Structure 1
């Protein structure tokens, strides 16, 4: 299985992480003297389930900042996280046509390790679903990262979850509507835009905490046109990203 890392994004002066990047790429924030992206590449480099590593979005003059023993490929940015993921999957389809699945890994989870990735991949086998959406519970996150201040979504039956940062998807997801993916990306902070994509009924169930994980998976399957499965990550590290300054400091303590 090949791995795609969407690593684009340059924080602007009003972004909370600008003090760390100073105009540079977010994925290259220095943590304990090393680029953040290098920690992710190291994990994939040691994962038995990963072959080629495709990094999408890092500026060309920064390619030498990250190395790997496995084949490491750099692709230019494609305008958004979804665009970068799509570019990586298209590269796999063109260059490794025998592959039917891919790992998608965020560029800001520096505490992940190869064995964690391997266990997640094994949990997803035999890859009968189009997309494996990963989540973590507050209990798991806070036990490993106290005071992380992660954002959690409240669902039915008292369930709370945080989205994961490492996923498995079939390459055939490329055949779904890219416009739909982009709509979901742009709508994520606007309830009414979300409703236009997933349906008002689903949105109302979410805001009234009547939406279950099963409902969410069914909605994802309906919207994407491919079966979706929700997976609880086996390790908190797979769902702990560096979105805020204090989270970078917290993650740095464990690198």
Structure 2
């Protein structure tokens, strides 16, 4: 299928057999003062940390490029040319691969390009440190997407602990379960733009769920803090405040919620990849 580049159209505007492929945005930037994991691994950029023979960015890019759901990829970073130079030539020169310079705000940078010719709808956002991303994870995510304006991939705590009982993640706790993010965000159409604009205002609190829900009023905050509301209902109510449909997509694969934020993560991801590649 040829990717559709009309920035005014979304997947919902097409017959089911003619839906456009997704644009995948890979966030590969880092803090202006440098990244602790990059320093720990003695590389200039976190995205170029090598794991078992491939950089994290390359692993994510190869998973995306192999997916039948993805038609275009955009790497967003403060120094995109440096990251391009760190990729294998077959990836760096791929026709469906673009490199875009970001500013200091992740959400603002995304907001500036989604729906444009650079990143036509629908858009999937992920991160370069999502090194365990696989075709199976992407399949599960896209197959569960049913037209939500905004969808967020998560893993429930029991799924994680059953596979990795010692894994330490950040958990958002709601009635019926606790969830950790999978670094997969579906932005389906222009209705998602207010959510991205909102994210730019709360970006610094992204790992503190209660602070995010506080922006939607005291009642939703109280229900989130008291765990008298489920995650799906909480997202639906937050989305309704922005006149959009928002839902979590709960993935049954523990590895979907394991990224590389600290040395322990890097050790675990390395072990998992070594085990996979021995099979």
The bucket for the TM-score relative to the shorter chain is 0.7 to 0.9
Provide the TM-score with structure 2 as the length reference. Answer: 0.78
More off after superposition, 187-196 vs 207-216: 187-196
Q: 1:140 to 1:70 in 2, by over 3 A?
A: farther
Alpha-carbon distance, 1:79 to partner: 1.4
SS in 2 for 1:211: coil
Check whether the contact 2:111–2:193 (CA below 8 A) recurs between aligned residues. Answer: no
Q: 1:194 to 1:104 in 2, by over 3 A?
A: closer
1:151 and 2:170 correspond: yes
SS in 2 for 1:198: coil
Alpha-carbon distance, 1:195 to partner: 5.7
Alpha-carbon distance, 1:172 to partner: 0.7
Query: Alpha-carbon deviations, 1:109-146, whole Å to 9, x = none?
Result: 11111232123112214x2x211122111122233334
Alpha-carbon distance, 1:213 to partner: 1.8
2:165 and 2:101 map into 1 onto residues whose CA distance is 36
1:240 and 1:254 map into 2 onto residues whose CA distance is 10
User: Counterparts of 1:205-244 in structure 2 under 5 Å?
Assistant: 205-244=223-262
Compute the RMSD of aligned alpha carbons: 2.6
| Match 2:138 to one of 117, 120, 135 | 117
SS in 2 for 1:118: helix
| Match 2:124 to one of 103, 109, 113 | 103
2:25 and 2:71 map into 1 onto residues whose CA distance is 11
1:247 and 1:212 map into 2 onto residues whose CA distance is 28
SS in 2 for 1:94: coil
Alpha-carbon distance, 1:42 to partner: 0.9
2:132 and 2:111 map into 1 onto residues whose CA distance is 25
Q: 1:70 to 1:105 in 2, by over 3 A?
A: farther
1:77 and 1:95 map into 2 onto residues whose CA distance is 13
Provide the TM-score with structure 1 as the length reference. Answer: 0.84
Q: Which runs of 5+ in 2 are unaligned?
A: 1-21, 274-279
SS in 2 for 1:254: helix
Check whether the contact 1:155–1:206 (CA below 8 A) recurs between aligned residues. Answer: yes
Q: 1:109 to 1:145 in 2, by over 3 A?
A: farther
Alpha-carbon distance, 1:11 to partner: 7.3
